[in-house]
Amino acid sequence: MALVALGVTGGIGAYKSVDVARRLQQVGHDVTAVMTAAACRFVGPLTFEAITRRPVITDQFAPGANADIEHISLASRIALLIVAPATANVIGKLANGIADDFLSSMYLATRAPVLIAPAMNSNMLEHPSVQRNLARLSEQGVRFVEPGEGYLACGWTGKGRLAEPAEIVAASRQLLSPDGRLVGRTLLVTAGPTCEDLDPVRYLGNRSTGRMGFAVAAEALARGARVRLVVGPTPLEPPAGAEVTRVRSAREMHQAVLECAEGADAVVMAAAVADYAPADGARPGKIRKGSGALTMRFERTPDILSELGRRRAGAALPVLVGFAAETQDLVQRARDKLREKQVDLVVANDVSLPDRGFAADTNAATLVTAEGEEDVPLGTKRALAAVLLDRMETLIHAPVAS
């Protein structure tokens, strides 16, 4: 069966992790326990060693463990990394790329699916910093087993207790044999803003961060799809496993998308593409201020999605999905775009509200198709991506000729 790394961090729930190891073994998996220094204060490494019948990793620099750069070697061999319990501290480290011990280094080094079971005091769990880190990990494709409600070790009653070992093992089973609904399919996803350079120091951009497109890409990867990602300038890291093409302007995005759309089963245009660019390109030298107003002429950029719609011309694939960022008449405008751009589905976003749209970790949207509308309530962008991909799978597998 599979080799599973079980990360154990310093929470009172660490004792339940012994049962997780035992249950994973019972269903035939090999388990290597990786304990943080704090975890060793709650449960002895010997307990895990006896249960897993393998050496337990407790120190990144232990003598004898470095001949093979163990955190890289193990990272490339495992089929799944589970972190249970995951404290607020380790969640913060993983979400922010901090690699100061074996477990956090291995998280960065592995391309295996990652399952995290958070456990902490309810107030800590609800803290915006922890919530932001959880949302960030979710966008990176990490899966979670939600903490349970009940009596907590700190004496409180509330949400934060480590999920039961049986739940953690059930969730891991799903990741070890992914449902594979998109295995063999190729999705092209665009994400982020575009920047239209005005001169060597200035540009016309927009507030897109790429989070929504990355969430769609991560969800598609988790479903077994091959994902090509065309990304405008954003400091955020795209999900691991996607084939990334970086672009800057709408024109560059146009070219990259047409190339990458070749053979794709679906295209999701989540990028916020500039509609206008300077008519004569960027000025070669810096624009100096004068006493009066500045006038520049802008011309339309190619509408990439419309072009894909035209090129498809009656064929069923690729399934085409657009996004409509609107501040008013949400559904009507999305419906107009659906028709004008000849696409299958438009995700309509109200960007005038603070908890959705650009830069937010959450989103709510209305999915508009020729058949009707579906409201997706406020949730993580990853949750919206999951609903979108459910609908797209139906279109990919039983496409309606347009």
Contacting residues toward ligand CTP, per CB under 6 A: 250, 269, 271, 273, 275, 301, 303-305, 322-325, 337
Contacts of 379 (CB under 8 A, 6+ apart): 362, 363, 364
Rounded least distance, CB 321 to ligand CTP, Å: 8
Cα separation, 218 vs 321, whole angstroms: 16
CA 22 to each of CA 11, 17, 57, 177: distance values in angstroms, whole numbers, following the listed order: 19, 9, 17, 19
Nearer to ligand CTP, 7 or 192 (CB): 192
Cα separation, 351 vs 353, whole angstroms: 5
Residue 26: count other Cβ atoms within 10 Å of its Cβ.
Answer: 9
Nearer to ligand CTP, 301 or 362 (CB): 301
Rounded least distance, CB 372 to ligand CTP, Å: 20
Nearer to ligand CTP, 171 or 304 (CB): 304
CA 96 to each of CA 37, 90, 93, 230, 295: distance values in angstroms, whole numbers, following the listed order: 20, 10, 5, 23, 43
Side-chain half-sphere exposure of 261, counting CA atoms within 13 A:
23
The answer to whether residue 154 is catalytic is yes
Locate all alpha helices (DSSP H) within 144-230, ordered by sequence.
165-176, 211-222
Rounded least distance, CB 271 to ligand CTP, Å: 5
Rounded least distance, CB 141 to ligand CTP, Å: 22
Task: Give the DSSP H/E element, type plus range, for residue 226.
Answer: strand 226-231
Nearer to ligand CTP, 112 or 273 (CB): 273
Rounded least distance, CB 352 to ligand CTP, Å: 13
* Closest alpha carbon to 108 in 93, 118, 89: 93
Catalytic site residue from 40, 154, 195, 260: 154
* Closest alpha carbon to 170 in 375, 361, 24: 24
Nearer to ligand CTP, 79 or 274 (CB): 274
Cα separation, 4 vs 25, whole angstroms: 10
Nearer to ligand CTP, 198 or 304 (CB): 304
Rounded least distance, CB 183 to ligand CTP, Å: 26
CB 36 within 8 A of CB 105: no
Question: Which active-site residues does the annotation give?
Answer: 154
